[in-house]
């Protein structure tokens, strides 16, 4: 099984949107107060299609056997005032299809994210991971990510 990670094109936006919806559903099972459904499939596909040509972002896809089986969406921020950080590549989304997990695809995506971060001039990659997503926390830790912050939430309305 050969896996290739490449830059996404506008033509990949539909499958990426499908994966993004799976991410949304996954996060809603963790905490439906913190996470929300924010777009329909068309809006998500349009969003990711637009990001494929953004000057400060990159969308990567992993292909296996001529099928897209995962993706990563990252965005470069030279200065993040709210995060007290500079030269940051923010990994917003990463997903590998359930049927393709356990084959090293996530590792290849993270390696490609790191290479893309360096290409942009980033000095670090930041990400958020759901508190209840213990598997992802373990995966990211194995790949060298360190916990540096804990997000907290106070619900003040409905």
pLDDT in tens, 108-134: 999 999 999 999 999 999 999 999 999
**Model pTM?**
0.94
CB burial readout 117-142, b (16+ within 10 A) else e: beebebeebbbebbeeeeebeebbee
| pLDDT of the residue at 129 | 96
| pLDDT of the residue at 149 | 94
Give the domains, in start order, of the chain with CATH numbers: 3-142 (3.40.630.30)
* Cα–Cα distance measured from residue 55 to residue 10, given in angstroms and rounded to the nearest whole number: 15
Residue numbers of the chain with a pLDDT score lower than 70:
none
């Amino acid at each position: 099984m050969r896996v290739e990670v490449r830059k996404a094109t506008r033509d990949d936006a539909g499958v990426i949107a499908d994966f993004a919806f799976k991410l949304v559903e996954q996060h809603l099972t963790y905490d439906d107060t913190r996470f929300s459904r924010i777009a329909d499939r068309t809006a998500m596909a349009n969003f990711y299609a637009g990001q494929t040509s953004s000057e400060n972002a990159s969308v990567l896809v992993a292909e296996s056997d001529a099928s897209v089986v995962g993706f990563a969406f990252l965005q470069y921020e030279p200065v993040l005032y709210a995060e007290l950080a500079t030269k940051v590549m923010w990994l917003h989304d990463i997903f590998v299809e359930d049927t393709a997990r356990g084959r090293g695809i996530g590792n290849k995506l993270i390696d490609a994210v790191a290479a893309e971060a360096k290409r942009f001039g980033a000095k670090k990659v930041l990400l958020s991971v759901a508190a209840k997503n213990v598997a992802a926390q373990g995966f990211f830790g194995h790949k060298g990510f360190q916990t540096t912050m804990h997000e907290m939430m106070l619900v003040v309305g409905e």
